[in-house]
Amino acid sequence: MKHLGTKKLETDRLVLRRFIMEDADAMYNNWANDPEVTKYLTWPHHKTVEMSHTVLGDWISQYCKDDFYQWAIILKDNLDEPIGTISVVHKKDSIEMVHIGYCIGKRWWKGGITSEALAALIKFFFEEVGVNRIESRHDPRNSNSGKVMMKCGLKYEGTHREADWNNQGRCDFTMNAILSKDYI
């Protein structure tokens, strides 16, 4: 893999870019403070905007690393306001694999935005970084997350019973993936 870091990506409706500290209020207000948004995630909802500032500070400090990937999801018709995030939450260079996670504000659910963002990352990682495998997983009770993966060409690989933990407690997870040969 040829790591390129979090570079700006664009789609028809979206700009995916690095976070800046000025994004903290939007992060907090648009998704991070909502327990329904974080229901199936491994991090708790933010109780204060200071928590969002702390998280952003950590992410921003890591942008100097070529193998750090954390994007703000922004609609082109409102470039000042991130509505979610998409990132590499795990990677394994030895098998040229990245594991993608995403989170978007409830107001923007079911509009194809997350699928559009994931499709942009799939293109970037296969065509520019040279990964062999892109994977993502979800709690089976969060079927909409699975629909995003399937829409983007990730194939169902199985459900691991009681093999994960999220804000609901111990849970199953469903693994989905796409290989470079599937993409080509």
Query: Rounded CA gap, 72 and 38, in Å?
Result: 17
In a domain, 4, yes or no: no
- Looking at residue 50, its pLDDT comes to 98
- Looking at residue 41, its pLDDT comes to 95
Which residues touch 69 (CB under 8 Å, ≥6 apart)?
Answer: 5, 6, 87, 88, 98
Number of domains in the chain: 1
Q: Which domain holds residue 77?
A: 9-183
Answer yes or no: are the C-beta atoms of 44 and 38 closer than 8 Å.
Answer: yes
In a domain, 104, yes or no: yes
Query: Rounded CA gap, 42 and 170, in Å?
Result: 11
In a domain, 14, yes or no: yes
In a domain, 79, yes or no: yes
Query: Rounded CA gap, 167 and 88, in Å?
Result: 20
In a domain, 76, yes or no: yes
Tens digits of pLDDT across the chain (184 residues):
999 999 999 999 999 999 999 999 999 999 999 999 999 999 999 999 999 999 999 999 999 999 999 999 999 999 889 999 999 999 999 999 999 999 999 999 999 999 999 999 999 999 999 999 999 999 999 999 999 999 999 999 999 999 999 999 999 999 999 999 999 8
In a domain, 1, yes or no: no
In a domain, 178, yes or no: yes
3-state secondary structure of 9: strand
In a domain, 2, yes or no: no
User: Is the model's pTM score more than 0.85?
Assistant: yes
Identify the CATH number of the domain in which residue 23 sits: 3.40.630.30
Give me the DSSP letters along 141-183: T-HHHHHHHHHTTPEEEEEEEEEEEETTEEEEEEEEEEEHHHH
